[in-house]
Amino acid sequence: MIKYHTCMGLLKLINIFFKKAQELKGQVNYPADHIPAMVVPKGGSCCANCRFLNKETKTCMEPNYINWNGSAIIPITTDQFC
């Protein structure tokens, strides 16, 4: 079993990676309290609950995300990504 602190460390590394990726991609306009492309707790506020999710292809149809990411592809499971 993976220990809690190990999981939290991995989540921090993933968030750092996505923050760096954000710096390298296009400009977007999100609310001040939102960090795009962040790993979130499973089942919380995530792509799987979003109105912009194409449920058949598991892609994001939100124009700001597509502009920022360069495509509609969601890189990890939709229930753990926001």
What tokens does 45 get? Answer: 């506020």
pLDDT at 76: 86
Say which amino acid occupies 48: A
* Residues 62, 52: Cα–Cα separation, whole Å: 5
Q: Where are the domains of the chain?
A: 4-80
Largest separation between any pair of C-alpha atoms in the chain: 40
Q: Where are any strands of DSSP class E within 2-60?
A: 53-54, 59-60
Q: Is pLDDT larger for residue 1 or for residue 13?
A: 13
Q: What would the pLDDT profile of 35-71 be if each residue is shown by its tens digit?
A: 667 777 776 778 888 889 998 888 999 988 888 888 9
pLDDT at 64: 84
* Residues 47, 58: Cα–Cα separation, whole Å: 9
